[in-house]
A = this chain, B = another copy of it.
Amino acid sequence: MPTISDVAKLSGLSKATVSRVINNHPYIAKEKRERVEQAMKELGYVPNPSARRLRGSLTNTIGVIVPRIVNPFFSYLVHSIEQSAYKNNYQVLMFQSNEKKDKELYFLNLLKNRQVDGLIMTSIENDWDVIQPYTEFGPIVLCNEYLTHSKAPIVRLDQAKAAYIGTKHLIDKGHTKIGYCTGGLFAEDGKDKDRNHGYQQALSEAGLSIHTNWIFINKHTIDDGKKVMRQMLAMDDRPTAIFTGSDEIAAGVIMEAKENGVRVPEDLAVIGFDDQPVAEIIEPKLTTIRQPVDELGEKSVEQLIASMNSKETVLKNIELPVELLVRKST
């Protein structure tokens, strides 16, 4: 494996000069620059990033952490981040935390050890106290998730409004018994807290109160959706509408509803979240909340690159609009 010394030897110049060529320093004789470039090509030389990092220089690589890559929302988000980064000459390393604290920490260490220049976190597993110290080693941008005390640039969607308009829509359709699924624990400061608030606000404005057994926690997948439907079937007094928190869950609910002769939307109105492809595939087509995923990724990258360039942390809070898409499931 050729090193900078090999290039130096072949070109008859010093390592320093070669290094200067690589890093586009000014003041190099054209003829020598060409000699170096020629030698690099000949040897198939590639700088060793480990050595560079050790030396403290940048990597032109950013990391993205996602909880579950199989969730289409995140795979599309990562995809969008990747595209934007590429346009800006950055490579992207993706990493799946699987919602585990230790895996998240491992990834944060990539930042600490200069494996990546910056980080985009699309989920947060650890407390902010443990994440915060890592910001010393490079910028961290939060993408669509945050904790109350987190102090980092954040690009997010207006989740509270999203849940609010979704729930409101169901109320406007005349529903008073409205179930709710969350990916978190329906806790005060945890995952999906903003959505929880939106849901609660819409209910309370309509003079409705919360039925704890219509709240389903830790739900993410199609299977989860089926389970939710089964749980509802077993209830004496069950919701006539449900806000699901993702199109996948909604799909599961609807599939199981059909199996059991529950008509959607007549017997049960279902509202999804994300406007994933599945929303238009399933029948009835899903009423859902559209989130501008592409823009979310794009802005996150922009924000991260901005933070990397200016040494001071630019504390920005970008909020993107969400939108209710009414189709046939409500």
Which residues of A pack against B, CB within 8 Å? 1, 44, 46, 48-51, 53-54, 68-70, 72, 75-76, 78-79, 82-83, 86, 91-96, 98, 103, 106, 109-110, 112-115, 133, 137, 222, 248, 251, 255, 277-278, 280-283
A113→B49 contact, CB < 8 A: yes
Neighbouring B residues of A51 by C-beta, 8 Å:
50, 54
Taking A46-B109, A50-B53, A75-B75 as known contacts, 13 extra A-B pairs with beta carbons closer than 8 A to each other, sorted by chain A number, are A44-B133, A46-B113, A49-B110, A49-B115, A50-B51, A50-B115, A54-B54, A69-B75, A82-B96, A86-B103, A94-B96, A248-B277, A281-B281
Q: In the assembly, what is the distance between CA of A283 and CA of B258, in Å?
A: 12
**Shortest beta-carbon distance from A143 to chain B in Å:** 16
Interface pair A69/B50, CB less than 8 Å apart? no
Q: Is the CB of A68 within 8 A of B79?
A: yes
Residue of B68, B79, B110 near A70 (CB, 8 A) is B79
Once the chains bind, are A113 and B48 in contact (CB under 8 Å)?
Answer: yes
| Bound form: Cα–Cα A240–B91 in Å | 44
| A93 (CB) vs chain B CBs: closest residue | B93
Listed residue (A69, A222, A255) with the most chain B CB atoms within 10 angstroms of its CB: A69
Question: Which residues of B sit under 8 angstroms from A277, Cβ to Cβ?
Answer: 222, 248, 251, 278
B281 touches A251 (CB 8 A): yes
Q: Are A112 and B75 interface neighbours, CB within 8 A?
A: no
* Cα–Cα distance between A282 and B91 once the two chains are bound (Å): 36
Q: Which residues of B contact A75 (CB under 8 A)?
A: 69-70, 72, 75
A133 to B91, CA, bound (A): 22
Complex-state Cα separation, A45 to B112, whole angstroms? 11
- B contact residues around A114 at 8 Å (CB): 50
- Chain B residue nearest to A54 (CB atoms) is B50
Q: How far apart are the CA atoms of A46 and B133 in the complex, in Å?
A: 14
Chain B minimum-CB-distance residue to A110? B49
User: When the two chains form the complex, which single residue of B48, B93, B96, B98 contacts A54, counting CB atoms closer than 8 Å?
Assistant: B48
Give complex CA distance A99, B329 in Å.
Answer: 37
> Which residue of B has the minimal Cβ distance to A255?
B281
Question: Would A79 and B72 be within 8 Å (CB), given that A46-B112, A46-B113, A54-B50 are in contact?
Answer: no
Q: Is A69 in contact with B72, judged by CB distance below 8 angstroms?
A: no
Residues of B within 8 A of A48 (CB): 54, 113
* Alpha-carbon distance A53/B93, docked complex (angstroms): 18
Distance, CA A106 to CA B251, complexed state (A): 38
User: Within the complex, what minimum Cβ distance (angstroms) separates A200 from chain B?
Assistant: 31
CB pair B255 A137 closer than 8 Å = no
With a CB–CB cut-off of 8 A, which chain B residues contact A255? 280-281
